[in-house]
A and B are shown apart, each in its own frame.
Chain A
């Protein structure tokens, strides 16, 4: 049995609607501290709201998008928001802003926007794929 496993984390619940991003962050931190590797994070459905650069919670509340992006940067973990989910819900990077001639872009680095192929690849390569859903 390997002592270290690789993980893909899929988040489908939005921050401030569900607990999914917070639970996933706690899980990701535990993985790293236990010597496991987070291969990638994939945001899908409402989960893409985690990657918004415009979320502005009151200053005495936890800022989940910022905490997540700090975790990703510190640990060199790639994170991708599904492009179809993102565009429908108003999350765009500069390339999509230009493509659709939109008034702004709002993707928080180091999150990126890409297709479901990223999730498929995680499904193929990681030892474990763990889902963090909101309520339906």
Chain B
């Protein structure tokens, strides 16, 4: 049974996205199929060279880069949102795939979890 975790909030403004990532990694740790979808301002999670140290946070880049190693099946980005925020393959972290039809993505998973 596959679970899609949807992150639609920008990183560092709240803890919700980070906790959603923890959920995804824990599904993978128990060998449950899991994927991440970033949409809206959430696509900014996928930006390269994040530097949140000055605001007392750890970069989420490393956690995301490690997600495939821990068994997360896919890291998906809403193409329209990426365009809005000026994100292209050049300035996005490696290993992400663009999706143009997010409703099809939502429908292709048995469980969809929105980050609180």
Contact = CB atoms under 8 A, between A and B. Distances in A.
A112 B2 CA distance: 27
A120 B26 contact: yes
Given A45-B15, A136-B16, A13 B116 contact: yes
A133 interface: yes
Contacts of A120: 26-27, 29-30, 32
Interface of B: 1, 3, 9, 14-16, 19, 22-23, 26-27, 29-30, 32, 111, 113-116
Given A117-B30, A136-B115, 13 more contacts: A12-B19, A12-B116, A44-B19, A44-B116, A45-B15, A45-B19, A47-B116, A116-B26, A119-B26, A121-B30, A123-B111, A124-B32, A131-B114
Interface of A: 12-13, 44-47, 84-85, 115-117, 119-121, 123-124, 129, 131, 133-134, 136
28 contacts: A12-B16, A12-B19, A13-B116, A44-B116, A45-B15, A45-B16, A45-B19, A46-B116, A115-B26, A116-B23, A116-B26, A119-B23, A120-B27, A120-B30, A120-B32, A123-B3, A123-B27, A123-B32, A123-B111, A124-B30, A129-B111, A129-B113, A131-B113, A133-B114, A136-B9, A136-B14, A136-B115, A136-B116
